[in-house]
Chain A
């Protein structure tokens, strides 16, 4: 199998049965257990910062999510991060949040992203503005994640904007959505996932999982509904830096559920940071055993350098080295 990076393609160059020419879709359809991660866009206009942040994941991830003003904080935009990294053919997941842009802007960005070689687009509703550094900003929310998915799918499959106006070359993108199996109302969560899949989601990345039991019961329902056969489900994980950090996240970051047992385990450890990584490795190994899980999404905000170690020790790649710019050069030398 020839490995290469992600580039913009036209319909004639799509692999058969694929929506995109991207390596994330390719690996998922091949049945590989995939690893994705999150790159945090800098508060800077220096492109080197973006390249440096991407490089720490080289070899260990199948795709990188460029976040779109995550936590409603202002950073370099996801489109710009994708523009920089797609030049190097990195496999990008461009996050599109409905908080800051209306449907006109969103559809424009989708076309632009696809033109740059972005193969994956993840539609999110987005955090409320109150969560970030500009609580005085106007929340847009013209669309929600569900309707954004439907519109992007329509652009791709019907070559039409929401208005019905024709698109000459549609965006060949693999469509993603987010899910939170750990927040109330728990019984509704699998149905909401079904709705997202119906709206066009082909892969799903979940919120941080720290409660394996809750995930197991969610996945059981997902399997009963056959949803794992309609979309690839990638579970979010991440290392906690300390018991105190975990407490802070639990009470300040919307939607993250951390059971008491996890905090106790961290508090009782000699080296809490190391224990946080070990906990993440243990969780990945347990998650991997769950039927219907297609991969893990490792989010290690401010601990990005730990991702390689976590993936390496958890052995989920099974000896596979993920593509990165320059991989061929290094292997032939």
Chain B
């Protein structure tokens, strides 16, 4: 699992493009989702999302996904859950202060971000987790958020 996580940050640019295509597909499906009902979709989509992102990124499913702003490294794997890292305790070899054998999640995030097209996304401040959303699908949340923003514009 961890090996795949490192693979994903090394290929962050590929996953960035892949997600863009995927997001467009999701947005395209919005009318269908609406018909079925987002609440009814929540559980099955969350299961699929957890399986995919868990495998590829060791995602912890915080429900407020930041992967595209954190170099495809899930910040919730940081033992201090820092969403705006890295902390000051990173070891000289780039490993975690708390888990000496694990590469720092934020060192990986920084390296991953620098391979991405939108390399500056890592500079935006991430909000604290809304603990009510943990375990929910951030894919659906994102689609709902984006479609409600565009419908308001219209």
Contacts and interface: CB of A to CB of B under 8 A. Distances in A.
Interface of A: 98-99, 103, 125-128, 130-131, 139, 141-147, 150-151, 178-180, 183-185, 187-188, 191-192, 194-195, 198-199, 207, 254-255, 257
B115 to A, nearest CB: 14
B97 A147 contact: no
B92 A178 contact: no
Contacts of B89: 127-128, 180, 183, 254-255
9 contacts: A126-B80, A128-B80, A141-B80, A141-B81, A144-B83, A184-B86, A192-B86, A254-B88, A255-B89
A138 to B, nearest CB: 12
A178 B89 CA distance: 12
DSSP majority for the B interface?
loop
Contacts of B104: 184
A184 B107 contact: yes
Interface in B70-127: 79-92, 94, 97-98, 104, 106-107, 110-111, 122-123, 125-127
Contacts, number: 100
A180 B85 CA distance: 12
B44 interface: no
A185 B128 contact: no
B20 to A, nearest CB: 24
A207 B89 CA distance: 10
A174 to B, nearest CB: 20
A183 B82 contact: no
B83 A187 contact: no
A99 B126 CA distance: 18
Given A139-B80, A141-B81, A147-B128, A125 B87 contact: yes
Nearest to B83: A144
A144 B127 CA distance: 9
Contacts of B84: 144-147, 192, 195, 199
A184 B90 contact: yes
B101 to A, nearest CB: 13
Given A125-B87, A141-B80, A184 B92 contact: yes
A144 B80 contact: yes
A128 B98 contact: yes
Nearest to A162: B128
Contacts of B82: 125, 141, 144-145
Nearest to B124: A195
A103 B129 CA distance: 11
Contacts of A180: 87-89
